[in-house]
Amino acid sequence: MPVLTQLVAGNSSDDGCYVPAYEEALKSTGKDIMVIGDSKMSALATRAHLHSGGSRYITPLAMVGKTKEDMEQWVDAAVAGTVALRCVQSASADAIGRGYEVVREQMYRDEDRSVTVSWQERVLVMQSAEYARSQEAGLRQRFTTARTSLTALTARKGKGQRRYQTAEALHAACHSILEKHAVVGLMTVTLECERQIRTVNAQRGRPSKHTPHPPQRLIEEMSYKVSNIHIDSHALAARIARLGWRAYATNAEAKEWSLNDVVLAYRGEWRIEQGFHLLKGSPLSLAPVYLTKTEHIRGLLCLLSIAVRALTLIRYTVSQSLQQADETLKGISPAYPHVKTNSPSAAMILAAFASITLAFVQHADQYFVHVSSLNHIQCRLLALLHLPADLYQRIADILTNHAPFFSEA
């Protein structure tokens, strides 16, 4: 559930938001927390600040600068078999990858506070099986696209088709395609030279009637085409072995957070994104914003952030109740009435109550409020939320007692 809300300009960088958000969160959570962020949180200054604040962190390392060079060495060690790889399992004990860890010393000098922070950091190098399969599929698709583009370079002569008269020009065009699709070193292109001898008139213009047999000469025309495209199987196998690798950094001790624990903790970050999806789509739908004043935009975002907290709590409570009872909910989605789930979304839960209606009746000086009867799904959700079954009837009674106030409003 969101702990705090920050309003920043849309064209601002995320890098400078982590430290202020962390300091604000400490007021509610305390220092003994695990901070999990994306690769933009992996800046050395941010990691040093989190460590000096007494907290632990998990973040994937951005592949820039020296980290990119280190990653090459870490993957080389894993592929060469010079390090022992451990199996990484999901919460259901299914194998999801393999990896190992490297321990290194880190140091950062904070010039603003004139403080030097030193700590021991663990780098967890892991190959995700699913990520590797996805990258391999993308690689093979690039092979197909590159082959098509290479073949089209020297298609049959026709209008608009270019003929390469030098091997250098065709070689440069082929290399450009291989670079574009990132398959340099994996595909080998063989060029073939075609020679054609033609007989033409030795003089310009058409022959006159006085010279029916003008002198002629032979000319040789040369053109180059792609004759063969070969995929290097050994280079391809070596490239596939290097797919799917990522590096995570953490200052947590191995006895508390193992390689498996760190990977699963980071993979659980998608739950945080669910709150942002509520803002972007149904039922909150932040965009489009028809406000221009900063104060109005800030107020709208703060109001919607409260709604995100409420919806997150509703979804969490229902999911926890179902999982603790080892039960599922059937028919919560009208589009799929036979589908069962033990973790319905907040939007699905709200939609289940959309059919409830309140009828306000005024007869003489008497006011009545009638609420429609709840169906089985609605009663079940109220029980999972630990709310009384007559909740809506209580609301109707309250409105009945305050009917004159509402009628005047």
- How many whole angstroms separate alpha carbon 343 and alpha carbon 366? 44
Contact 57, 34 (CB under 8 A): yes
**pLDDT tens per residue, range 18-48:** 898 898 888 888 888 999 988 999 999 999 9
Composition of the chain by helix, strand, coil, percent to 5: 45, 25, 35
**pLDDT tens per residue, range 58-101:** 999 999 889 999 999 999 999 999 999 999 999 888 999 999 99
DSSP 3-state of 137? helix
- How many whole angstroms separate alpha carbon 360 and alpha carbon 362? 7
Q: Which two structure tokens, joined as six digits, stand for 138?
A: 């993308």
Say which residue, 133 or 211, is predicted with more confidence.
133
CA 30 to chain centre: 30
Contact 327, 342 (CB under 8 A): yes
- How many whole angstroms separate alpha carbon 238 and alpha carbon 343? 41
Contact 235, 186 (CB under 8 A): yes
**pLDDT tens per residue, range 370-381:** 889 999 999 999
**pLDDT tens per residue, range 238-297:** 999 999 999 999 999 999 999 999 999 998 877 777 777 888 777 788 878 888 888 898
- How many whole angstroms separate alpha carbon 248 and alpha carbon 118? 19
CA 53 to chain centre: 29
Residue-level pLDDT at 409: 43
